Amino acid sequence: MELALGRSLEDEIRDWRRFEMPRVVFHAAEIICGLQFLHSKGIIHRDLKPGNILLDKQGHVKIADFGLAVDDIFGDQTIVGYAGTPGYMAPEILLKKEYNAGVDWWSTGIVISEMAIGRSPFYSGNDKKKIWHSTIRDKLELPDWLSAEMSDLIRKVSIISCIEEL
């Protein structure tokens, strides 16, 4: 286990509101590489959110808090189970359907959105019922000023989740 003496991504987002695009791309790339590694080992994190992404002194990403993670899930294997943090949980989890590692990609899309636009693309208040309904029913809302490339990345990462089958 590595020591991360920096701050969490949540702290950084709170302080900066949103990041400059080069920083979003840097952190997004490292999160994506980290998830690819975890998934190659059969690990699904299931609680990816800015508070569980630590930054070392150089600003490199360290994915943390594996308390809700499951392992030995490869390829098309699926599981069922309610786990995660409201606002970052994929629709499959909320609907208690079978899911796979795609749920981590959904969460990644939300995290990238928060870095890029300073908020979730869905309702992100304190009302858990509204969060649940927004995640299930609302379309991904991204501002027009966001670059086409970043919008495309967020949409593609989020689609890896099996939402189309719902």
Q: What residues act catalytically?
A: 47
Categorise residue 118: left if φ over 0, alpha if ψ from -120 to 50, beta otherwise.
left
How far apart, in whole angstroms, are the C-alpha atoms of residue 154 and residue 132?
20
